[in-house]
Structure formats: structure tokens, C-alpha cells
């Protein structure tokens, strides 16, 4: 799953860069509307993925607290043992990782947009140098 997310983020970043570059260089009106729509969908996809991953991480922290606040003391001994195991495992928050590099969060989505902008700046600068 983590390498799938790495591919997803890398491909989305390059696609967003390519769409921005096409919007800057091409001037057909009908194509611009389609590309702007596609660009918005790609950006929304990245931020929705990151938002949900961030929510998973934040809510997973509350699992052990919720177990502690329930009426566990009235439960049978075996159930108490199971709840204890769950509480111990819930101490480490869940996270969706992007390859072996970092966890998927809201700031990761912003970093992806910054990377797309950097790629775009590189493309436009290389295009300017080729013209001169």
C-alpha cells in the first residue's frame, strides 16, 4: 500500500505540473476549460486523500481513551484482556505512509503542490533558455 501511495503522489505531482504547463503555453479556449476542470479534480484528489489519512491518524489516537472510558470493569475477565491488548496496540497511531519516506498528512499534500510548482518552474526556465 505504501508504494502504491508513493506512485500516486509522484504521478499526480507530474500530472499537475504538465497541466499547469499546458495551461501556460496553449491558448485554445475549449481545451482550457477541460484542463482547468481536470486540474481542480487532481488537486482535490490529493487533498482529500491527505485529509482522510490525517483523520485516520488523529482518530486512531482516541481509541484507547474510548476503551478506557467505557464500562470495562463490568465485563468478563477475557474481554478485559482483549481490551487491554487493543489499548496497548492503539498507543501507536495509525498512519498511511507514502513509500518509505513519510506519512500522508495535510502538510504532505501541500508539499506535493510545492513540488509540482518547482517542476513547473524548472520546465518554464528550461523553455526560456531554449528560446534564447
Domain contains 126? yes
Q: Are 42 and 12 in contact (CB under 8 A)?
A: yes
pTM across the whole model: 0.75
Task: Write the DSSP assignment of 13-79 as a string of letters.
Answer: HHHHHHHHHHHHH---HHHHHHHHHHHHHHHHHHHHHHHHHHHHHHHHHHHHHHHHHS-GGGS-HHH
Does residue 73 sit within a domain? no
**Which residue range(s) make up the domain with 31?**
2-61+97-131
Identify whether 43 is part of a domain.
yes
Q: Cell triple for residue 60?
A: 486512531
pLDDT digits (tens, 9 = 90+) for 48-80: 999 999 999 889 888 988 888 888 888 899 999
98 phi/psi in degrees, rounded to 5: -105, 95
Domain count for the chain, please give it: 1
Q: Cell 518509505, residue? A: 100
pLDDT tens by residue, 108-120: 889 888 888 888 8
Amino acid at each position: 500500500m505504501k508504494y502504491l501511495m508513493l506512485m500516486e503522489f509522484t504521478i499526480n505531482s507530474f500530472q499537475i505540473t504538465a497541466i499547469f504547463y499546458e495551461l501556460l503555453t496553449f491558448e485554445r479556449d475549449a481545451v482550457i476549460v477541460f484542463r482547468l476542470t481536470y486540474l481542480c479534480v487532481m488537486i482535490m484528489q490529493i487533498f482529500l486523500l491527505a485529509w482522510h489519512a490525517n483523520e485516520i491518524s488523529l482518530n486512531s489516537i482516541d481509541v484507547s481513551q474510548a476503551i478506557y472510558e467505557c464500562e470495562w470493569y463490568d465485563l468478563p475477565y477475557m474481554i478485559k484482556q482483549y481490551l487491554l491488548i487493543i489499548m496497548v496496540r492503539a498507543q501507536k497511531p495509525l498512519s498511511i505512509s507514502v513509500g518509505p519516506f513519510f506519512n500522508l498528512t495535510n502538510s504532505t499534500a501541500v508539499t506535493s503542490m510545492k513540488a509540482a510548482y518547482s517542476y513547473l518552474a524548472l520546465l518554464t526556465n528550461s523553455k526560456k533558455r531554449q528560446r534564447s
